[in-house]
Chain A
Amino acid sequence: MTFALLLIGLMMLGSAAWAMLGRNLIHSALLLIASWAGVAGFYLWAGAEFVAFAQVLVYVGAVSMVVLFAVLLTRQNQISATLIEPASRARAATGILTAACVGAIFGAAILSTGFHGAASAGPVSSVKRIGLELMHRNGAALLIVGVILTVALLGATVLAASDSKNSPEDLP
């Protein structure tokens, strides 16, 4: 059990770390897809199949496509991308340091806590059950989230839509 977890975790973390450190943007996007797949795997190991499927559908399927589209639409000079300025180096160092601190604090907190939880047999979830929960008790939230999604995507479309007067890309 734990071995599978470790493996999934390793894959997740590794691809995430490589993605964040990489120079090439497309490589980073693809590696992140792998990471998200790893997360989905974790959900499967934990017994939340529905969530795992949702994760795959949304993240691996949709979000990654959107990311790739964005990357492709915002290509810039390769030359400037390879240079790392000193300021950027300092910033990177500060960022990693900060993240390390946060991680340290979290880790300390987690390791020093004794959880009295039920260990082995996980909860049983059925899609019917999830459906009932969603529609029955969280119906309002569901509707609101639906609205949020609609509005957000409409907004994103509007934002990303090209401004025909100003954009030089459309000029012949």
Chain B
Amino acid sequence: MTLYAQSLWLIPALPLLVAGIGAITRHRGVAIAAILAMAGSFVLSCLALNSALAEPAAHTAYNFAWFDLGHGAMRLGFLLDPLTAFMCVMVTFVGTLIFIFSLGYMKEDPNFSRFFCFLSLFAAAMLGLLVANSLLLLFICWELVGLASYLLIGFWFHKPSAAAAAKKAFITTRIGDLGLLLGMLWLYNSTGSLLFYDGGHGVLEAATLASLSGTILTCGLAASTAIGLLIFCGAVGKSGQFPLHVWLPDAMEGPTPVSALIHAATMVAAGVFLIARVYPLMSADALLAAVPVHALTVVAFIGAITALMGALIACGQNDIKRVLAFSTVSQLGYMMLALGVGSWTAAIFHLLTHAFFKALLFLGAGSVIHAAHHEQDIRSLGGLSSKMKLTFITFAIGTCALVGVPLFFSGFWSKEAILHAAHGWQVSHLPFYAAVIGVILTAFYNTRLMAETFFGKPRSHAAEHAHENSSTMTTPLVLLAVGAVLLGFLSTPYWPWLQLQLDPTLEHEPASYGLMGLSVVLVALGIGAGWALYWRTTRTKASAPDPLAVRAPGVFAALAAKLGFDEFYAATFGRLNDLIAAVADGLDRWVFGGFVNLLAKLGVFSGLVNRQVDEDTLNGGFDGVSESVRGSGLRYSHAQTGEAHGYLRVMAAAFIVLALALVLGGVR
């Protein structure tokens, strides 16, 4: 097992190698190399999973020193446990399929090789994040993932909206990452280590957790709570939770495979993964009674708010990718909710199933967009069920999984686990109610999406002439659809195999038929409402008003405007930022710049003075001296008359003077 743990670095290394190759060449073969690398990583991940499942309770860590810091070394490490292994398998499998899909989708794009270079970079960073045993290594890969997301959202950077969306994504996640960094620093300061499992000294191990939860701060919070909440900030940013969810819908500016891989299946799940990874830290304060707030309570409520809000807004969106984006926000809220109410295994189970069916939905949307020549407005689509049969069938399977149609579709089982956990939460039942309403809304807006896109008559020229795409694009859809169905059976209430593998200490609770029946009823309600509004009488024209808008115009307008978050942020934080920027600009320009200019002017002035002094005094002085020497030399040279008589005369006269001097001086 340690051998596998030691070799875990190979899993991210293969895509990283391809990313490096892709950075220096424009050859289209980079795509094939990327697919092969991901496939290789998939094989390695399966081997790792096999090894991890042999001993599910063990967290096999391989730590090494990165660089020496004097009194100690900065240590990094790799961790092999079922959580890591399952996530790696999922990421590599879905990643390989999406890479294959991109072969067809991005075929005409001139920057083909750059796309695969960035995708490989992202894959390497994501896998590195998953295998990290050190919060530092995780953070490094976290930031790399953010960078890759920025590069890929802004892939078509000459489109101003894409460039702006990339910036927005990066800055918004950065705000969350600040909290993560602070939590990391606090953790290092308190415990002196950032390793998760380190033979008893790791941050997630009993001794450290006891000391952290035992430290009560002045505000009444336990240290572990505070650190946990700070780390949760990073997850809020990366996973698009309320209030930092605003970047996810805009991130749809990137190519659809990017949306599928990063903003549905993997990167946004990194936040959920992080909380699941540091779950022992988050739940360390569970037994403390006197703290004002538990970390997981905050997580649960934020998750619940996000789940409800995302589902609401999705009902009012008209862009096929925006609907799916808000659906992702909502589902991530579900996962956070599950984490908060105490069942991190349910959250991970939902994460795994969500990865498959959301990636499937996004790739299906990509297939539709590609076939309809980049028409993304669902009001202008329609009638595609007959034109694109395979896409339609797989999209339907994905929708059923997302909605949670019972028994055969994975979403049902994973959502069931979440509802079960929420129902059993002692603190409050509010998240449970939010989740319940969310189920109805999810069914409703997904029905709306299916009806508007696939049923009825084609409402535009693009939809008229759509046809099924090539097999490179449809085969991944099929494979993901199979996964979307089969994955559900990994953890049913009758046999929670996955959850047991992840957490062998889990208590097996009996299946609650009441809850299962409730969720079936909810799903039926939602689908029914959607059928009534959108399927029974399909839209006739692209410009016709939305049936919901007709019935509740105010509500629909608010939902279509995404509840005004962007405008609110622009008016408050945006304006504040502009003000600070203006102040800083003024300070820089007039105070600091003025000072620097003054120094420069002083320098110039002293240079001028120096030159004048040099020219007048020094040069003049030297020149004057030289001139006087020359002048005197000139004058003295006139004494050389060239006449021998003159010289003789002078000699004689000098001799006379000498003789007189000698005589009168007393020499005889």
Q: Mark A residues whose CB is within 8 Å of B.
A: 91, 94-95, 98-99, 101-102, 105, 108-109, 113
Contact partner of B660 (CB less than 8 A), chosen from A94, A98, A105, A113, is A105
Contact B656 A105 (CB under 8 A): yes
17 further interface pairs, Cβ-Cβ under 8 Å (given A102-B659, A105-B659, A105-B663): A91-B645, A94-B649, A95-B645, A95-B649, A98-B652, A98-B653, A98-B656, A99-B652, A101-B656, A102-B652, A102-B655, A102-B656, A105-B660, A108-B663, A109-B659, A109-B663, A113-B668
- Please name all residues of chain A whose beta carbon is closer than 8 Å to the beta carbon of B653 when the two chains form the complex: 98
- Please name all residues of chain A whose beta carbon is closer than 8 Å to the beta carbon of B655 when the two chains form the complex: 102
In the docked arrangement, what's the CA distance between A91 and B643, Å? 12
Residue of B at shortest CB range from A104?
B656
Q: Would you mind naming 22 contact pairs between A and B with Cβ atoms under 8 Å apart? A: A91-B645, A94-B649, A95-B645, A95-B649, A98-B649, A98-B652, A98-B653, A98-B656, A99-B652, A101-B656, A102-B652, A102-B655, A102-B656, A102-B659, A105-B656, A105-B659, A105-B660, A105-B663, A108-B663, A109-B659, A109-B663, A113-B668
- Please name all residues of chain B whose beta carbon is closer than 8 Å to the beta carbon of A109 when the two chains form the complex: 659, 663
Whole-angstrom distance from the CB of B649 to the nearest CB of chain A? 6
In the docked arrangement, what's the CA distance between A90 and B645, Å? 12
- Please name all residues of chain B whose beta carbon is closer than 8 Å to the beta carbon of A98 when the two chains form the complex: 649, 652-653, 656
Question: How many residue pairs at the A-B interface have CB separations less than 8 Å?
Answer: 22
In the docked arrangement, what's the CA distance between A150 and B322, Å? 121
Whole-angstrom distance from the CB of B501 to the nearest CB of chain A? 121
Whole-angstrom distance from the CB of B400 to the nearest CB of chain A? 125
Residue of B at shortest CB range from A88?
B645
Whole-angstrom distance from the CB of A22 to the nearest CB of chain B? 18
In the docked arrangement, what's the CA distance between A113 and B649, Å? 28
- Please name all residues of chain B whose beta carbon is closer than 8 Å to the beta carbon of A101 when the two chains form the complex: 656
Residue of A at shortest CB range from B643?
A91
- Please name all residues of chain A whose beta carbon is closer than 8 Å to the beta carbon of B645 when the two chains form the complex: 91, 95
Residue of B at shortest CB range from A109?
B663
- Please name all residues of chain A whose beta carbon is closer than 8 Å to the beta carbon of B663 when the two chains form the complex: 105, 108-109
In the docked arrangement, what's the CA distance between A94 and B649, Å? 8
Whole-angstrom distance from the CB of A114 to the nearest CB of chain B? 10
Most chain-B Cβ atoms within 10 A of its Cβ — which of A94, A98, A99?
Answer: A98
In the docked arrangement, what's the CA distance between A102 and B192, Å? 111
In the docked arrangement, what's the CA distance between A109 and B649, Å? 21
Whole-angstrom distance from the CB of A73 to the nearest CB of chain B? 20
Going nearest first, the 3 A-B pairs with the smallest beta carbon separation are: A98-B652, A105-B659, A101-B656
Residue of A at shortest CB range from B662?
A109
In the docked arrangement, what's the CA distance between A91 and B652, Å? 14
Whole-angstrom distance from the CB of A7 to the nearest CB of chain B? 30
- Please name all residues of chain A whose beta carbon is closer than 8 Å to the beta carbon of B649 when the two chains form the complex: 94-95, 98
In the docked arrangement, what's the CA distance between A94 and B660, Å? 19
Residue of A at shortest CB range from B645?
A91
Whole-angstrom distance from the CB of A99 to the nearest CB of chain B? 8
B626-668 Cβ-contact flags toward A at 8 Å (1 or 0): 0000000000000000000100010011011001100100001
* B residues 113-133 in Cβ contact with A at 8 Å: none
Residue of A at shortest CB range from B659?
A105
Whole-angstrom distance from the CB of B655 to the nearest CB of chain A? 7
Whole-angstrom distance from the CB of B426 to the nearest CB of chain A? 132
Residue of A at shortest CB range from B648?
A95
In the docked arrangement, what's the CA distance between A72 and B384, Å? 138
